[in-house]
Amino acid sequence: MPFRASLVTLYPEMFPGPLGVSLAGKALARGDWSLDTTHIREFGEGRHRMVDDTPSGGSAGMVLRADVLARAIDAASPEGDTRPRLLMSPRGRPLDQRLVRELAAGEGAVIVCGRFEGVDERVIEGRGLTEVSIGDYVLSGGEMAALVLLDAVVRLLPGVMGNAASGETESFEGGLLEHPHYTRPAVWEGREIPAVLSSGDHGAVERWRRDQAERLTAERRPDLLRRR
């Protein structure tokens, strides 16, 4: 079965968005993966389909109701659906390449896109949502974060990248940032391509790339080296 992404959102028109073009879009058109949306508003309360209410205990903003959101999640992921249920949230588990690979190896994911001040904590517990964050900042909603997560996952699905090996040397694979890249012209604005890359010595090239990756990681992300 192809990877299936189900989005639970107040703005289904945001999808597939950029996932409908380039490699992901071509793979979507081929049926290598699929995407569907569930509109939270369709499960809202009353004539105006209300989906939110004021925070208990008092505070600014509004909160997505547990009952409304649960109905939307149940419609997107009925009983027997074994896909993980994710909630895009700034307080969640950081999205990293390990999680991306875990998701890409599975059958898909149900991704809940929050809005307003957040969602009622009871629906997170009651529907087994795993919170995932794409960074230490706050967005207007979870849709953009979901697009980021899916872009990272879809490119790893079989057949999406023309050369599957190209994904094995990128940043965060092996715990290091990626080494620098060069291509023609050999000299540009007085800057030359490092001589080792034109030497024909594949062993020397690999050693240079490894050294450069370690240098960049030490300079920019020493935390990655500590984890290793």
Architecture of domain 3-154: 3-Layer(aba) Sandwich (3.40)
Strand partners, 33: 3
- Find the farthest-apart pair of alpha carbons in the chain and give their distance in angstroms, rounded: 72
Domain 3-154 and domain 169-227 have a common topology: no
In this predicted model, which residue has the larger pLDDT, 166 or 209?
Answer: 209
Instruction: Tell me if 83 sits within 8 A of 108, measured CB to CB.
Output: yes
Span 146-190, pLDDT tens digits: 999 999 999 999 999 976 555 565 667 788 999 999 999 999 999
Pick the CATH number of 169-227 from 1.20.140.10, 1.10.645.10, 3.90.228.20, 1.10.1270.20: 1.10.1270.20
Question: pLDDT grade, residue 2 (50/70/90)?
Answer: very high
pLDDT at site 162: 74
Inter-CA distances, 72 with 30, 44, 82, 114, Å:
28, 9, 17, 12
- Sheet of 85-94: strand order equals 33-39, 3-9, 108-113, 85-94, 130-133
Lowest-pLDDT choice from 68-72, 89-93, 162-166, 198-202: 162-166
Mean pLDDT, the chain, rounded, equals 94
Span 104-154, pLDDT tens digits: 999 999 999 999 999 999 999 999 999 999 999 999 999 999 999 999 999
- Token pair listed for 72: 């939307």
- Average pLDDT of 65-84? 98
The domain spans of the chain are 3-154, 169-227
Residue 219 has pLDDT above 60, yes or no: yes
pTM of the model: 0.90
**pLDDT > 70: percent of the chain:** 96
pLDDT at site 169: 55
